Every structure is written in structure tokens, then in C-alpha cells.
């Protein structure tokens, strides 16, 4: 039976407030749509997209997960910087990425819905549309409920469950590294991910109450077309659970 990509995005007053994607078989369409439409607390517009996926690739495991907690944002950001550098990002560009997330990466200084894509050699921004950014979609867990239960039991959140998928897909698609923290003012944990170090969860990457955040993907400039085609078009299902260490 072909799999479906089911996506929901909701906005309020023209501002994006919620988005989620599931990859499911046809017989789970109704329950999936019912789950997704209950997610946004408030909205004035919601779009549900259902699309048949012609080809879905399977991954045995997501990136391994490590967690690091610090007492101050400054210490956590210094650690994130070191993690990016260890992953192969020049220090100047790692600092630039942190600065971008701190001030809001959109041209108007606010948050972007998608990610900044930065050339890891030159620091040039490569995303075709700077307001929209690049969005990593079409990846889900084969058994989301089981993985979610395992991760929540270990103290992780729904955001980790989704962010780990995005980071895993970016690495599969050729990213050298990624840094992310949320634009949710109440969510201060973020991460650096790379093929070398896995998913490195870092807390707190910003102060509570700060509404800015986003994602920066580092790639080799020559890989842009292939990277975009992969993160936006190829579909993946992840079978197994992550490994955890601290």
C-alpha cells in the first residue's frame, strides 16, 4: 500500500503558529488528520496537505543522542560553538550562525519558518528565498508512538522527537553540521547535529522569554541542488530508536 505524507500548517494573523507532518498508510489517514488538526491552540487559517509518496526509503536508526546542560546561556553557546567547530565548521562561521539565530535570521530581523543554508567554506547564504528559508520535510518514524513513549520516559519532549528526525535527514542529505534553537519563548533547549557527533542536545541555548531562534544548515556550496532536492523531496521512514549517552 503506498504511503501518504500528511502535513498541517496553521497561522494566526498571517503568522505561522503550528506545523507538523506524518507519513502513514492510507488506513491511518482519518486518525492522523484528526490528530494534526487538534495541535494548534489558536489559528485563523489551517492547511492540510495529503500527498501520495511514490518512493519511501528506510533508515535503520536516527542520529545518536547526547545531552549537555549548562548553568548559563553563555556557557551553552560556547559549547555549541566548539561542537560546530569539531564538526568541521570554521570558527568564524560558527559564530556567525549563532549571531544570526540570536538576532533572528530573516531579512527583516525576525524568525524564518525554514532554515538558513550556509556555505561551510565561504559563509555565503545559499537558501533560494531568505524569507521562507529551506524546510526539511518528508521524514517520520515508522512507529512514532513507540519512539515517543521511549523518549518521553527518558525526559525528552515532543520537540526532540521531531527535531531528531529533521537533523537525521539533513545529515543523510549531506549537511556538514546544523545548529538550532526554537523560537518558542518557553523552549530554551537546542542542538548541534553532525555526521561526526550525532545529535548533541544543549541547554539552555537562549534565555526564557526570548522569541527568536531558527536553524542554520552548513553544507558544501557545490552540493546545493542535491541537498535541496533531498531535504525537500526524498521521503524517509526511520525504523529504530536512537542510542542515548550523556
Our CB check for ligand PML shows the closer of 11 and 123 to be 11
Our CB check for ligand PML shows the closer of 168 and 182 to be 182
Question: Least distance from C-beta 61 to ligand PML, angstroms?
Answer: 17
Our CB check for ligand PML shows the closer of 122 and 157 to be 157
| CA–CA gap between residue 96 and residue 86 (Å, rounded) | 16
Question: Least distance from C-beta 218 to ligand PML, angstroms?
Answer: 17
Q: Can you name the residues that pair with 3 across neighbouring β-strands?
A: 25, 53
Contacts with ligand PML, residue ranges (CB under 6 A): 157, 159-160, 163, 180, 182, 189-191, 201
Our CB check for ligand PML shows the closer of 3 and 116 to be 116
| CA–CA gap between residue 115 and residue 108 (Å, rounded) | 15
Question: Least distance from C-beta 59 to ligand PML, angstroms?
Answer: 18
- Of 202, 206, 201, 200, the C-alpha closest to 187 is 206
Neighbours of 246 (CB within 10 A): 8
Residues 171, 63 contacting (CB under 8 angstroms): yes
Question: Least distance from C-beta 201 to ligand PML, angstroms?
Answer: 4
Question: Least distance from C-beta 163 to ligand PML, angstroms?
Answer: 4
Our CB check for ligand PML shows the closer of 43 and 191 to be 191
Residues 60, 240 contacting (CB under 8 angstroms): yes
Instruction: Give residues with Cβ within 8 angstroms of 22, minimum separation 6.
Output: 5, 6, 32, 35, 36, 140, 144
Amino acid at each position: 500500500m503506498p504511503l501518504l505524507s500528511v502535513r498541517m500548517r496553521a497561522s494566526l494573523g498571517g503568522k505561522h503558529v503550528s506545523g507538523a507532518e506524518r507519513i502513514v498508510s492510507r488506513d491511518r489517514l482519518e486518525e492522523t488528520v484528526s490528530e494534526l488538526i487538534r495541535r494548534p491552540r489558536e489559528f485563523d487559517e489551517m492547511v492540510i496537505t495529503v500527498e501520495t509518496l511514490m518512493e519511501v526509503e528506510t533508515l535503520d536508526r536516527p542520529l545518536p543522542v547526547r545531552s549537555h546542560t549548562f548553568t548559563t546561556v553563555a556557557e551553552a553557546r560556547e559549547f555549541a560553538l566548539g561542537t560546530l567547530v569539531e564538526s568541521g565548521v570554521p570558527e568564524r562561521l560558527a559564530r556567525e550562525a549563532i549571531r544570526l539565530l540570536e538576532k533572528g535570521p530573516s531579512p527583516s530581523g525576525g524568525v524564518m519558518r525554514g532554515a538558513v543554508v550556509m556555505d561551510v567554506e565561504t559563509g555565503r547564504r545559499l537558501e533560494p528565498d531568505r524569507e521562507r528559508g529551506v524546510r526539511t520535510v518528508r521524514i517520520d518514524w515508522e512507529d512514532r508512538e513507540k519512539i515517543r513513549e521511549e523518549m518521553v520516559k527518558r525526559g525528552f519532549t515532543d520537540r526532540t522527537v521531531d527535531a531528531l528526525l529533521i537533523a537525521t535527514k539533513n545529515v543523510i542529505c549531506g549537511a556538514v553540521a546544523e545548529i538550532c534553537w526554537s523560537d518558542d519563548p518557553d523552549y530554551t533547549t537546542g542542538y548541534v547535529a553532525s555526521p561526526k557527533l550525532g545529535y548533541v542536545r544543549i541547554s539552555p541555548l537562549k534565555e526564557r522569554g526570548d522569541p527568536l531562534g531558527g536553524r542554520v544548515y552548513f553544507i558544501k556550496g557545490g552540493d546545493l541542488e542535491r541537498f535541496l532536492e533531498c531535504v525537500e523531496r526524498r521521503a524517509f521512514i526511520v525504523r529504530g530508536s536512537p542510542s542515548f549517552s550523556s
